[in-house]
């Protein structure tokens, strides 16, 4: 299999390369693409040296599979070219997620959508959507879900390498009594939280919050489920956390919920209040599985459950999910 990675110098591109090695994804040729300023730079991978090459129609030809991890504008321009060349495209951007005939895939949830689609382009969901649904889906197997209220606590890795650099840089500036320099985030992220990710929409929500609503409905294939979200950027380097309040169509038992979660692939259950065990972002950093805990009945309503789920934004929230889709294609 001949494969390509577009956006190899970014955090997701680098993680894709690491996961190809880690999961022993077999290929006969690999081409690494990045922006023009990175063309010609060398990357060592599996004891070989690869040069970053220019992204164009010619260099995209002859590939079986191309991962796109370079933003929606790049994907919109070049993903259709790759697909027209006959390549499968797994796109990490928001460019194609809500397109009617393009599957939006979380392998543990709706892998069957790949088999039933003729599309050469497959969309990778938003990181918060993926991590949230890894907790929501097993609970929906117990009883139909009526409504989900989500509050995300999203790490700076969601803004890529630049986001992580800004947190580290401004933390150093803080301890040296220097004013913060906010180039990536609207406000200082050091020792602060920012209740805005993405651009504000006419309805008062941000586009990040609306992604959760629209993408979740498509992946779950459920237009009746009600979802609302508040997305918050927090000074955590890696891994997102989401607080979920889930309302079911009828009363539910916590033990049944835990049992269903416990057997769901890609999820670890860490929930023991007596032993003070619950998941935090650090626990899931650089890990494949999402971790869920703080599972409890909402005392204000019998048919509601509150949970806390964490997951590595760069891995399961992006690169790992893409690799899992590629493994399904193989």
Which residues form the catalytic set?
A: 127, 240
Ranges of beta strands (E only) in 132-225 are 145-154
Query: 164 by DSSP, 3-state: which?
Result: helix
Count of positions (residues) in the chain: 330
Question: Hunting for tokens 């971790």 — which residue is that?
Answer: 291
Burial class (CB in 10 A: 0-12, 13-18, 19+), 280: middle
DSSP per position, 34-59: E-GGGTT-EEEETTEEEE-EE-SHHH
Q: How far apart are CA 73 and CA 35, in angstroms?
A: 12
Contact (CB, 8 A) for 97 and 81:
no
Contact predicate 289/69, CB 8 Å: no
């Amino acid at each position: 299999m001949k494969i390509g990675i577009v956006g190899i110098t970014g955090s997701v591109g680098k993680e894709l390369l690491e996961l190809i090695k880690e999961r022993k994804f077999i290929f006969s040729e690999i081409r690494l693409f990045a922006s023009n300023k990175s063309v010609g730079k060398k990357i060592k991978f599996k004891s070989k040296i690869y040069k970053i090459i220019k992204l164009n129609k010619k260099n995209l030809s002859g590939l079986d599979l191309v991962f796109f991890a370079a933003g929606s504008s790049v994907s919109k321009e070049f993903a259709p070219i790759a697909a027209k060349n006959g390549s499968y495209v797994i796109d990490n951007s928001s460019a194609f997620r809500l397109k009617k005939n393009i599957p939006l895939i979380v392998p543990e949830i709706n892998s069957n959508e790949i088999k039933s689609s003729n599309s050469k382009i497959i969309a990778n969901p938003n990181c918060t959507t993926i991590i949230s649904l890894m907790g929501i889906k097993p609970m929906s197997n117990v009883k139909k879900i009526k409504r989900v209220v989500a509050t995300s606590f999203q790490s700076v890795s969601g803004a890529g390498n630049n986001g992580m650099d800004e947190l580290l840089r401004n933390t150093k500036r803080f301890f040296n009594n220097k004013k913060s320099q906010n180039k990536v985030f609207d406000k200082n992220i050091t020792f602060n939280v920012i209740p805005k990710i993405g651009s504000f929409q006419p309805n008062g929500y941000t586009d990040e919050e609306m992604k959760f609503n629209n993408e979740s409905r498509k992946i779950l294939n459920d237009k009746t489920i009600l979802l609302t979200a508040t997305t918050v950027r927090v000074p955590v380097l890696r891994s997102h956390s989401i607080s979920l309040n889930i309302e079911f169509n009828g009363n539910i038992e916590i033990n049944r919920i835990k049992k269903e979660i416990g057997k769901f692939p890609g999820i670890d259950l860490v929930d023991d209040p007596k032993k003070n065990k619950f998941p935090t972002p650090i626990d899931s950093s650089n890990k494949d599985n999402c971790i869920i805990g703080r599972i409890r009945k909402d005392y204000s309503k019998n048919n509601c459950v509150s949970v806390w789920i964490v997951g590595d934004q760069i891995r399961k929230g992006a690169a790992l999910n893409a690799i899992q889709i590629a493994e399904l294609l193989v």
